[in-house]
Structure 1
């Protein structure tokens, strides 16, 4: 037979468990990942190296598209993957929160990556125009736009290198 004391203790234990469980639901959770950067030069060098690999892959794929050894659909999927990787690099630069002496260099590289992402968007558009059989003048216009975006990206990356502390 249950005693009053046993019932009260059980009720208190259940109330504490229910209260603690509810508290877990109501407390804000920090689901964002963060990392601490202590060597900003190495961090920027790492981003720069990965960006270079993406550039080399994209140029190879663009050559394959112009040689017709890579289909526009395959090219588009590769360019979308590259765009996703560039977006990841942009996020990495933003989350690193550089000190004042590195802000200008990081900011210029950030802008260079954004321009490179615009470049990727335009080469996807080029692939779609090639796929749909657009006129050579449309393709030529697209190529000049692409070249301009690539030059802007390269210029911003150079500015980042020049403003390093």
Structure 2
């Protein structure tokens, strides 16, 4: 049979667990940090400049992959890092919450970044085909896809610049 001391200890443990659960449930959760943008032109210029740095670096790496001075594995690793950086830029554009006069410009640049991320995914596919010694026709088809995605991304970036207030 249970003793009085054992019951009291059990009740106290249950009370502490219930109380802790209650406190955790009702405390406000921190949903990450956010930032306030006051100069939307400078913010979009900053995103564009960082995007152009990534584009330039990836172009150099792609040329190295095609010239066989960069291994497919190194290229893939670099493309994945670049994709992560582009994803961060996309998040930054989305979270900036621009006013109405900047919405179209920011929206076009958002689409440009998404297309460029698609481009990066295709470069990884190209590197895998090169690593697997795919036929030159497959590599040529992949290069056509890459060219098309890059042109779409560039076109959307240009549209963003043209629609700035």
Q: TM-score range by the shorter chain?
A: 0.7 to 0.9
Identify the residue that residue 121 of structure 2 maps to in structure 1.
Answer: 121
Aligned to 2:98: 98
Runs of 4+ residues over 6 Å off in structure 1: 18-21
- 1:24 is displaced (CA, Å) by 4.9
Match of 2:57 in 1: 57
Question: How far did 1:32 drift?
Answer: 2.0
- Cα RMSD after superposing both structures: 1.7
Q: 2:35: which partner in 1? A: 35
Task: Give the TM-score normalised by structure 1.
Answer: 0.86
Aligned-pair CA distance for 1:160: 0.1
- Aligned to 1:36, the other structure's residue is in SS state coil
Secondary structure of the structure 2 residue equivalent to 1:143: helix
Summarize the alignment of residues 1-165 of structure 1 with structure 2, pairs less than 5 Å apart: 22-165=22-165
TM-score by length of 2: 0.86
Rounded to whole Å, the distance in 1 between the matches of 2:21 and 2:39 is: 41
Q: What are structure 2's unaligned runs of at least 5 residues?
A: 1-14
TM superposition shift of 1:28: 3.2
CA distance in structure 1 between the partners assigned to 2:57 and 2:141 by the alignment: 23
* Displacement of 1:26: 2.0
What do the CA deviations read for 1:105-139 (whole angstroms, capped 9, x no partner)? 00000000000000000000000000000000000
Listed as ranges, the gaps of 5+ residues in structure 1 are 1-14
